[in-house]
Structure 1
Amino acid sequence: MRRILICGLAAFGWASRLEAQAVPARDLWEFPLGAIYEPPALASEPGAGLWNPATIALRPGERYRFGVASLAAGSAQGVDGQLLSGAMRRESGTTLGLSVARAAIGGLVRTDTDPQAVGDIPYATWLVSVTGARELVPHLTVGAAVRWRYGRADQVTGNALAADLGAVLHDLPWRNARVAVSSFLWRPGREIDDRPALLTAADLRVAGTTTEREVRAGFAYDNVNRGAQEAGPFVSARRDRVEARLAHLRTDVGGESVNRLRFGLSLYYARFAVGVAREEGVSGLGAVYQFTLSSIIK
């Protein structure tokens, strides 16, 4: 874990010396790839630690976790994203992980002097993250991630190195409460260009006595620097192998507000977890759908 933190600090220093140049397609990382089903600060399926490095930590007795996620929005300019991740718990208790994520918008056509399309305009981004996390003291897990981001908008390309920190207070004595906080895409001194996000969420058990049979309720708040602010309550209910979630979110950006729902269903069987989720469309993009699959090897 110490090595991960040192690498993160080194990334901060390296990134702070880069020229103040924005990397294209930053807005695509405002779509919750791998986190429609859960608040980003608490998202553990498919276990990538993409939004909060601390959530990648595996519990004692778990050795490996692998996961994939796919996101798609139904519209003429369709947004799609993919995520592939893997994590390994070492004997020291530290979990190390690697994830590769991609997001893009298709259907952007190039026109000349008339409305006829003469080709597509590429608009896409990649994010590669190396993550480490461990439980420092009982009920407190912390994590750090070093990230390389690449973006392309037509003929303009760029890349940047960022580093993020996250923490989760979990299994607290009062109603099994959890509190999570994390940064996302932070380059010190480049906040205006990269627009890093602060992600927070908290929930507690309102009914039930075990993880396999419980009802939880909480609140999430995410703030993108010079961008959207998203907040709202969420609830989840699990009974044995089936879990359902629902969130009502309010997004404020550019002086306008939008309310929408996110909901999903997950099935646990043996060492596998399969999830499907939907978010009401905004800005004419249509509904957003997500599929996740993860597996734990003990």
Structure 2
Amino acid sequence: MRCMLICGLAAFGWARGLAAQPVPARDLWEFPLGAVLEPAALAAEPGAGLWNPAASALRAGERIRLGVASLSSGSAQGVDGQLLSASLRRASGTTLGLSVARTSVAGLVRTDTDPQSVGDISYASTLVSATATKTLVPHLTAGLAVRWREGRADQVVHTAVAADLGVVVHDLPWQNARLALSSFLWRPGREVDDRPAVVAAVDARVVGESAARELRLGLSQNNVNRGVTERGPFLSGRLERLEARAAIVRAGAGGSAVTRIRSGLAVYYARYVVGVAREEGISGLGPVYQFTLSSILKE
């Protein structure tokens, strides 16, 4: 954890000294890759902690977690995303993680003097994250992520390094409540160009007495600097191997706001968790679908 903290501080310094060119395709990271089933600040289903490094922590007795996620709009012109992650818990209790995520827009065509296509326009971003997470005191887990990001917009390609901090307060005595907070894509001094986000969520158990049989209710909020603000309630209920989740998200930007519904199912079988989720389309756009698969290897 100390080594990762030093690396994070170095990344902060490096980020400040990078060229003034903003990295293209930042808006693609406003799509909830790996976070349709769960609020971003608590999303751990693929085992990545993509949005909050503290969410990737493995519990005592868990050794390795592997995860994949795929996001698709299912239309000719839409956003696609993929996520691959791995986490390892060391004997010291520190969880180390690595994830590679990519998101892109398909179906952008280049035209010349007439409407006929003369090629495709690339609009995509790749994000590589290395994380370290540790429970510092009972009920408090903190995490650090060092990130390398590449953005492409046609012929323009730029890269940047960012570092994020996150915390999860968990297993509280009152209703097994949880509170999560994290930054996302933060480069100090470059907030105007890179538009970092702050993701937060809180929830509590309203019915049940164990994680395998419970009903939880919570509230999430995501704020992108000079971008979209999302907030809304979410609900999750688990009965042994089956878990259902739903959220109402109110998203606003530039004085306008829309409401979206996210819903999905997760199935627990042996050491595997399979999830399928859907976000309703808006303004004539098709819905977004997400598939996740994670596996935990125990000691």
Tell me whether the two structures share a fold, i.e. TM-score over 0.5: yes
Contact preservation (8 Å) 1:217, 1:235: yes
2:62 counterpart of 1:62: yes
Residue deviations 1:82-116 (CA, integer Å, cap 9, x gap): 00000000000000000000000010000000011
Distance 1:103 1:43 in 2: 18
Post-superposition shift, 1:289? Answer: 0.1
Instruction: For 1:76 and 1:210, locate their aligned partners in 2 and report how far apart those are by CA, in whole Å.
Output: 43
Q: Which moved more, 1:236-245 or 1:19-28?
A: 19-28
Aligned partners of 1:62, 1:234: CA distance in 2, in Å?
A: 27
Aligned residues: 298
Distance 2:283 2:142 in 1: 35
Q: Distance in 2 between matches of 1:284 and 1:25?
A: 22
Q: For each residue in 1:62-81, what CA deviation from the matched residue of structure 2 results, as whole angstroms up to 9, or x when unmatched?
A: 00000000000023312100
Task: Report the Cα offset of residue 21 of structure 1.
Answer: 1.4
Q: CA RMSD in A?
A: 0.7
Tell whether 2:236 aligns with 1:230. no
State the 1:285 CA deviation.
3.3
Letter in 2 for 1:65: R
CA distance in 1, matches of 2:264, 2:250: 18
Cα drift, residue 30 of structure 1: 0.5
CA contact (8 A) 1:215 1:235 kept: yes
Find the aligned partners of 1:228 and 1:125 in 2 and give their Cα distance.
18
Q: Which moved more, 1:277-286 or 1:220-229?
A: 277-286
**Runs of 5+ unmatched residues, structure 2:** none
For 1:51 and 1:123, the matched residues in 2 are separated by 21
For 1:266, the equivalent position in structure 2 comes to 266
Contact 1:24–1:158 (Cα < 8 Å) also in 2: yes
One-letter amino acid matched to 2:82: Q
| Aligned partners of 1:77 and 1:285 also within 8 Å | no
Listed one character per residue, the Cα deviations across residues 239-276 of structure 1 (whole Å, up to 9, x for unaligned) are 00000000001000111100010000000000000000
Could you say which residue in structure 2 is the equivalent of 1:11? 11
Question: Among the aligned pairs, what percent are the same residue?
Answer: 70
Q: Is the 8 A contact 1:124 1:153 kept in 2?
A: yes
Matched residue, 1:24: 24
Question: What is the DSSP-based 3-state SS (H/G/I as helix, E as strand, rest coil) of the residue aligned with 2:209?
Answer: strand
Q: Structure 1 46/234 Cα, relative in aligned 2: closer, same or farther at 3 Å?
A: same
Contact residue 77 and residue 106 of structure 1 kept, 8 A: yes
Contact 1:75 1:284 in 2 (8 A): no
Shift of 1:171: 0.1
